[in-house]
Chain A
């Protein structure tokens, strides 16, 4: 009031001052929303939807026509709808939809993770990004969340397309139980793809070049899908040899070891869990001695969904644990890295 007018050196009124910057409470959400819109608009998304969509439609069409031609399979069976996703037509080369996701799904995780961090490095945007008022882990958490959301959306879209095709070809509509099974399978499949996303992101942190990192992730994918069975067989026959005159116990020991070793691979965990969840008749994926089978005399029965969930639980937990370990390694590596290359 009493201040002389010449002391009023005001900030130039033309300068727009940003409102006092209140940094976002969750920086990762900002990162995630940017990454999500990038992912949704990316070319790679369309390529993957086209590739997986076509393969999936092929798979379900093949299963559906098989079921349609074998009416006895269809008569009165509950869970017919989910069978369309998990049943491989006898004599067909085309895998079921669930198996297809196990086979090609990793590609989805790799595609959205292999250049997450090293891409920011090579584009030289990382220093600018981490100089903003967000915690450094917001970058990797946001990217993982966005990647998972994009992958989930792709998987959802394909599952819906496939359901539509199944409905058109066979005219079977899903029961509530079918839908619950499908939803449970969806979560498991997402965890499986999440593992591949986390692994690809780990590669993108550790490997400086995007191409090399993609190659590393694809290499693991191929090793696990193609050579895993071979490797498991070799290791198992070394640790639990089966001589020519092997006893039943020896053979069982070998087979069980093979199973356990195979369960290190997320692909095995996924396919076992998917088998439990999408086929209500599956009660075990382990070995069942013939004696016990005949003893059992049980008519192949239909399990309620909670029982199927209980059976799949260990696999689901192991799958999530693998994902968490992979993401954790990437997280730690990223936090310890220098910003400058």
Chain B
């Protein structure tokens, strides 16, 4: 009995839980007239993981989220959230899913605590239990001191943290966070992300978060789906996505000291290298292109020629570059078609 409860509390890492899907969609589609906002979406999010839904503004992220909450009806397809169909049993879903909307708002004339009390009352939580829980949540999100100030005096970051506490009031098993880091300052972003991670870990909550800023959220996501124009372009762990995209071609940034012509000749002599360019800004940096295999022997080959590599970095590994390339590639395809 105890064991079962404990499992439910912390499904992360348990093999059993890995097969437990918190959210899944099958061919989920939403069309507004001719405009297809979400196109045949198939997602499966495991219980206990932090899943990132990434894509530019207008990609259909919010529409997807609203369908998952039963706040918008899908045109085709279906979803299942914590075992319920949001279209048919919206209350069952909303009872178990905490939601932080994009650009969350609160009743400005009420205090932070009063706002959370209203949410608790709407969830039918008994008053005393609600007060205890709200006190603790406000502590967790670092708003204990500001709890009894009116929300109109809150900063953007504070509102966002209050929003997280608000989504947690009902003790959800899934949290859906729409753009949790949008339009708050960098320090605030770090705070909020750390908070999301802590909340997910400490409470064993599955988190689905959407963002248009990949570099901000990738650290906290177990898996991501890259989403554009209503369709998923790629799905998986960050590292997998990078490999999927890079293909066989590899570009390395190599830092070498020595006379330019000698260095260039040495680099060109390395087996497999197809192109060598000198960095326009830093003359000691060289860009070398070739198949994946060159990574293994490049440094050794250069050392054999008496050149010591002072710096070696793979170009294009930055997440934003990956992300950018997904969209450009998609756009190219669009052009070709």
Binding site for B on A (CB under 8 A): 3, 7-12, 15-19, 21-24, 27, 30-31, 33-34, 38, 123-125, 127-135, 338-340
Comparing B115-123, B222-230, B303-311, the segment that makes contact with chain A is B115-123
Set of chain A residues within 8 Å of B107, measured between Cβ atoms: 38, 123, 125
A218 to B307, CA, bound (A): 84
Binding site for A on B (CB under 8 A): 2-3, 5-7, 9-10, 62-63, 66, 69, 71-72, 91, 94-95, 97, 99, 101, 103-109, 118-126, 129-130, 132-133, 136, 163, 166, 169-171, 202-204
A121 to B102, CA, bound (A): 13
Q: A3-B2, A24-B121, A338-B72 are in contact. Are A133 and B94 (CB under 8 A)?
A: yes
A249–chain B nearest beta-carbon distance, Å: 56
Which label, helix, strand, loop or mixed, suits the secondary structure of the B interface? helix
Contact check, A18 vs B108: say whether CB atoms are below 8 A apart: no
Q: Give the contacting residue for B6; candidates A11, A33, A38, A132; CB below 8 A.
A: A11
Residue of A nearest to B73 (CB): A338
B143–chain A nearest beta-carbon distance, Å: 16
13 pairs across A/B with beta carbons < 8 Å?
A8-B3, A9-B6, A11-B9, A12-B202, A19-B126, A19-B129, A24-B124, A128-B99, A131-B97, A132-B170, A135-B91, A338-B72, A340-B62
Contact check, A18 vs B120: say whether CB atoms are below 8 A apart: yes
Contact check, A17 vs B3: say whether CB atoms are below 8 A apart: no
Residue of B nearest to A33 (CB): B121
Set of chain A residues within 8 Å of B123, measured between Cβ atoms: 18, 21, 23, 132-133
Contact check, A18 vs B121: say whether CB atoms are below 8 A apart: no
Set of chain B residues within 8 Å of A33, measured between Cβ atoms: 121
A23 to B120, CA, bound (A): 9
Q: Count how many pairs of residues, one from A and one from B, have CB atoms less than 8 Å apart in the complex.
A: 123
Set of chain B residues within 8 Å of A38, measured between Cβ atoms: 107, 109
A24 to B3, CA, bound (A): 31
Q: 12 new A-B pairs (CB below 8 Å) besides A9-B9, A23-B95, A128-B105?
A: A9-B10, A10-B2, A15-B136, A16-B136, A18-B171, A22-B124, A34-B121, A124-B101, A133-B94, A134-B91, A134-B94, A340-B72
Set of chain A residues within 8 Å of B124, measured between Cβ atoms: 21-24, 133
Residue of B nearest to A20 (CB): B171
Set of chain A residues within 8 Å of B129, measured between Cβ atoms: 16, 18-19
B331–chain A nearest beta-carbon distance, Å: 26
Q: A128-B101, A131-B94 are in contact. Are A27 and B202 (CB under 8 A)?
A: no
Set of chain B residues within 8 Å of A127, measured between Cβ atoms: 71, 99, 101, 104
